[in-house]
Amino acid sequence: MLLSVTTRMDSYIQFMTVLILFVFVLAITYLVTRWIARYQKGKAGAGNLEIVETCRVSPNKYVQIIRAGKKYLVVAIGKDEIHMLSELSEEEIDLQENRQEQALDFASVFDRVKKLKEKDKD
């Protein structure tokens, strides 16, 4: 009887140890990923090139607005080629700074999905 209790206790302690190590590794992975993302974002934003907006035309073709220095260029990007379509002035562009933040905000996406699920139930 005593041997059975100790083996159960050992199994429980071993399980808790593995669980704690898993959570620790998960937390470290999350923190390192965020750190690398900030580092790369800071490095990429330091140059003169910036992709302002991207529109997908087909599975492997895009139209992008790119800021190169003080100029804005419209380019068509395909699988193996890139073509400049036009040059835009700053007045012709509708810059919406927080559009990407709204689209990538998890809480707003989650609320929309919840509303869709509620409509499906009704």
Asked if 39 and 58 sit in the same domain, the reply is: no
Asked if 99 and 67 sit in the same domain, the reply is: yes
What is the per-residue pLDDT for 30? 96
Asked if 18 and 39 sit in the same domain, the reply is: yes
Owner of token pair 């559009």: 99
Asked if 40 and 82 sit in the same domain, the reply is: no
Asked if 94 and 34 sit in the same domain, the reply is: no
Asked if 53 and 41 sit in the same domain, the reply is: no
Owner of token pair 């890139």: 82
Which residue type, as a one-letter code, is found at position 20? I
Asked if 36 and 81 sit in the same domain, the reply is: no
| Main-chain dihedrals φ then ψ at residue 48, nearest 5 degrees | -95, -5
Tokens of 92: 């012709």
Asked if 8 and 57 sit in the same domain, the reply is: no
Spell out a b/e string for 56-69, using b for 16 or more CB atoms within 10 Å of the CB, else e.
Answer: eeeeeebebbbbee
Average pLDDT, the chain: 84
50 Cβ contact list (under 8 Å, min separation 6): 66, 67
> With 0-12 CB in 10 A as exposed, 13-18 as middle and 19+ as buried, what is 72?
buried
What is the per-residue pLDDT for 45? 60
Residue-range definition of the domain harbouring residue 96: 48-121
Asked if 93 and 55 sit in the same domain, the reply is: yes
Asked if 1 and 54 sit in the same domain, the reply is: no
Asked if 84 and 103 sit in the same domain, the reply is: yes
Low-confidence ranges of the chain (pLDDT < 70): 1-3, 5, 44-46, 96-104, 122
pTM here is 0.47
Total domain count for the chain? 2
Outline where the chain has alpha helix (H): 2-44, 99-104, 106-121
